[in-house]
A and B are shown apart, each in its own frame.
Chain A
């Protein structure tokens, strides 16, 4: 086996879990949407009514983009999954690239690879080729999902190609981000920031008259392919061109820099040490991740503000008929109904944040730092309890900030929602998030190596359970398994104390069990 081939295969093997998870997601989404739409709107007349009702709705465009033909099942599916899966695909591509191009280098393993009989440019192309293979399952998944949903083959291919487009472009951007920043985390933050900017451009393009802004972001190109509504496959060429154009500077920068370095590498010399963070492990953990905490909080709360500002226009001037249609999708046609539903997404985001905190806890163990720490007079149980409490505290801050930002947004546009109740909605998002934190902590304590992945899995499965289950009219008790189903959609409905109390109790018991387990088990390296 040549070194380039070995590196190519290694890069793909490293991504195998992500490949499987995203491939399945991209298969399931179109398949379920196609079946659900056909089931809910069997006749053309009903679809026409639905299409008309939705044609001008700005709020739905925020997530899903511009609908081109909602009377067609394929057109509906492209609209319903295109806008959202585009974001997933872009993130997936960036993550794949950064894992392939920075993680090994940051850990020092890349020196071993580069010391082998392989040139820098060959190593670059081997990994770039692996990225192509890694994004391909998104195409395969979507295409098979569409076909399984009984949709036309050619347009299904166009949608599937349109979805891997942003994955490829963002993979190229990820490669470039790796040239600029020396850490996996930093490069990922840069890529996410670019993605947020692109998403903002798409929102403006989708919700205002400036539709031409679509052409300035890969996320917009996906919409301009317009599968099932007079497809324009030529737009797909933009993705190929952009990928190459972005990748070339990546190649040039990589071939000119030293291994382990980056253009924006912060200085390795500390002139003014900050000693006040060093009194307590929790403060040290806080200091180490201050940038990513800021990004999480700003991202979630910022979106809360946007939701607040559009809550009024979303539901104003709706016909009786549309209100009925919306209720079928589980949306209460009032500003508070709309906001209540979006808080489900915020809980999802905050629960994912909790998982990222568990990942940080696990990282300290995997990289051996806990061995150093616990050889000192630092109690294990206390350390674990404190780190979990830190995660819970930050989650609470994000939840309340989100409530506050949403309330501010709603107040700015004068929506008919109580400011205090929106703060309450923020607080209401917390128990479910903490439940996931507690379960995740127990998973990390019980299964050190796979715990973090399992914690993310629990959150994602529970969320998909709720979203997909309610579309497919699954029995209530089956849906009720997901904590998301137990959340009262404050401010649309009054706060109910019982479910949050139960969730907090479970969270508490799970965390206590996690602490007991963590205290007595061996520390396990990576």
Chain B
């Protein structure tokens, strides 16, 4: 119970009491928790543009999700555990959610966010863990993960793409008739020396997005992973 008092949880599938209105649900959840920042709760209700008078059974999933989010955030709990919290929210609400999480972070609250929306994770998380088939396969700051998964280079050639020798630690994909994409883990030198003798028009390098890191982990053998 001591732990429960310091934790707030948002379930992936909102399971609430269908006969209660939004207001009644927030009141009940607040009573069960024992502490609610009432002023902040009122502010959240405004921010999420939430109509409290509707019964839960008449609400869309996004609106039921709002109840859970408002109830969890209004507790100002030390640890927020959020399981797919934005499923069903429209883009405006998603933005409001991100602001709220940044605020919570600024107040020193810890947020555990489980999400399939990687842009969301990228935007608000300091540390990222990647789960595969129920196991934590990697964990660290976004920069750490980027480093591990390596860098990506997009190389445009004059006409068609040339044949390249196999270079250790480099994966090659053709994206356009005259464009190759190189995923490099480890040193970049060997690839650069190989390219030096070829008719390269342009070379762009970019840091992998979280999505690319994710695919890097899942891509190799994604049948058993899903």
Contacts and interface: CB of A to CB of B under 8 A. Distances in A.
With most chain A CB atoms within 10 A of its CB, the pick from B5, B7, B32, B33 is B32
A274 B24 contact: yes
A379 interface: yes
Interface in A360-392: 367-369, 371-373, 375-379
Contacts of A377: 1, 4-5, 32-34
Interface stretch (A191-199, A223-231, A263-271): A263-271
Contacts of B28: 278, 284
A375 B7 contact: yes
B105 interface: no
B43 interface: no
A280 B1 CA distance: 17
Interface residues of A, number: 24
B55 A269 contact: yes
A279 interface: yes
A270 B17 contact: no
A462 B1 CA distance: 41
8 contacts: A271-B53, A273-B27, A278-B27, A279-B31, A368-B13, A375-B81, A377-B1, A378-B4
- Helix, strand, loop or mixed for chain B's interface? mixed
Contacts, number: 71
B116 interface: no
Contact of B54 (A268, A274, A372): A268
A45 interface: no
A279 B8 CA distance: 19
B23 A273 contact: yes
A275 interface: yes
Interface in A249-289: 268-271, 273-275, 278-281, 284, 288
Interface of A: 268-271, 273-275, 278-281, 284, 288, 367-369, 371-373, 375-379
Given A376-B32, A376-B33, A368 B24 contact: no
B147 interface: no
A281 B33 CA distance: 12
A279 B53 CA distance: 19
Given A270-B23, A371-B11, A378-B32, A284 B54 contact: no
B225 to A, nearest CB: 24
Contacts of B9: 375
Given A270-B55, A271-B53, A369-B16, A375 B4 contact: yes
B53 A288 contact: no
A195 B22 CA distance: 36
Quick one: which of B13, B14, B53 has the most chain A CB within 10 A?
Answer: B53
Contacts of B81: 375
A371 B11 CA distance: 8
B24 A275 contact: yes
B21 interface: yes
A294 to B, nearest CB: 16
Interface in B37-57: 53-55, 57
